[in-house]
Amino acid sequence: MATDNLGLEFSASRPETAAGFEAAMDEYMVFTGEPMHRLKDAAVADPEFALGYCLMGCLRLFAGVSGSNPQVAGELALSRDRREAANPRERAHIDAFETAAGGEMSKAGAMWDAILADHPHDMMAAKCAHEAYFLVGESANLRDSVAAILPAWDESLPYYGFLLGMGAFGYEETGEYEVAEEMGRRAVEIEPADCWAVHAVAHVLQMQGRRRDGIGWLDGTVRHWRDKMWLKGHLWWHLSIQLIEDGQIDRVLQIFDDYISDCDEDQVTRLMDCSSLLLRLELAGVEVGERWHQVVPKWLKHMDEHAIGFTDAHLALTLARAGEDDRLAEFFRSLNAYIEAQDNTNQGILARTGRDLCHGMAAFARGDYTTAADRIHPVHDDIWNIGGSNAQRQMFTLTLVKALLRSERFAEALQIVELWATEVPAPSLWRDLAEALEGTGHADGAVAARRHATELAN
């Protein structure tokens, strides 16, 4: 038995195991290094180390692969082999991992929260719950999971600043922007390398339409996150979204080519950043050249995984936009087969929401705007449960608005964009509002909206 740096006992027979686990957790906190290698080395060397394979499998799931992935399945089997000799807390972790791998992320999040009720300093449980709720869009649970344990923490404990960063993101996702920004900035003061806290503040600034504050924040912190391989691409994505709104298109294309598209096929979250940014550029009227075709080969490995609807929607968009019609048909056959064969929460989300969204995004990519609107609009209010963040899911709302405008369904577009534009001072939203107003016969309102868009852009 060993004890980690937060005073929690865990099963191990070698003193080096504790150091390996703590090093892996340290790297996990800052999204860099090789935590998987550290965990595997420790687990291979120490047959009593129960959490090694468990955390490895969880990290793969949180990176966007499914429970059917052979590596995840292998790590689950090895975790089960060590379950009987593990302590009750470790057994609960393994059970939560198995639940998550079975497509029940929300239930797994609740299981990690149950661990935290007895062990509020279990940072592995806190991170796993945070990731699980994020993957199914459960923002209130994302917030409450951290809020429940935060009173048991203080600055004397390792990872306290990182916990604040997680809390900041939860508050941002529930729209409590003032609390989120204050907490996130405090987290960065404590741990400048905490790129998740940097990310939380970036979300606040994006959701509030404070694009120049957002550009300044990310440019000002880039020295702390530019080498954080597991999150740097996403932070470049956030910066790029603000730069598009600011009209700095050449810089965005350079960022895409140099810092975002350099991911490999196993970095699913990075692949989604690639596809999302290309669409956001095109929605802004930018020609992206052959970049869709460059992304496709990296996506092909994930055709049959169907880990979450958020991932599948990006995959369908990419195949359709690159003109890969045969592969797109193959993807939909696989998605239909998954929905028919499975019986879990993920299957239900894909059946109710994800499949129509995938069809809608593919139709938009092909220029069939009527079908895109017909498939996306009925499920739009339920898109939150496919996973991802509010800022990321805005891509689907923007796509729907453009589809409605391009199919001359101006009244429907106006219903969506009018409130949004009045809440977020983004030039692009006001330009869409102007088009919707003009299409519904409100010429004076359209002129005023275009004037306001120009004012916001300057």
Q: What Rg do the C-alpha atoms of the chain give, in angstroms?
A: 22
**The pLDDT of residue 165:** 98
CATH topology of domain 1-152: 1.25.40
**Per-residue exposure over 116-141, b if at least 16 CB sit within 10 Å of its own CB, e if not:** beebbbbbbbbbbbbbbbbbbbbbeb
pTM of the full structure: 0.96
Would you kindly state where each structural domain of the chain is located, as residue ranges? 1-152, 411-457
**The pLDDT of residue 65:** 87
331 near 89, Cβ under 8 Å?
no
User: Residue length, the chain?
Assistant: 458
385 in helix, strand or coil? helix
Contacts (Cβ under 8 Å, ≥6 apart) of 259: 232, 233, 236
**The pLDDT of residue 35:** 94
**The pLDDT of residue 217:** 98
Which amino acid would we find at residue 145? S
DSSP string across 60-122: HHHTT--TTSHHHHHHHHHHHHHHTTS-HHHHHHHHHHHHHHTT-HHHHHHHHHHHHHH-TT-
**The pLDDT of residue 1:** 77
Strands 9-10 and 2-3: antiparallel
pLDDT mean values, one per 10 residues, the chain (458 residues)? 88 91 95 94 94 96 90 96 95 98 96 98 98 96 98 97 98 98 98 97 97 98 94 97 98 97 90 98 97 97 95 98 98 98 94 98 98 98 95 97 98 97 95 98 98 96
Say how far residue 53 (Cα) sits from the centre of its chain: 23
Distance between CA atoms of 1 and 248, rounded to whole angstroms?
Answer: 56
268 near 307, Cβ under 8 Å?
yes
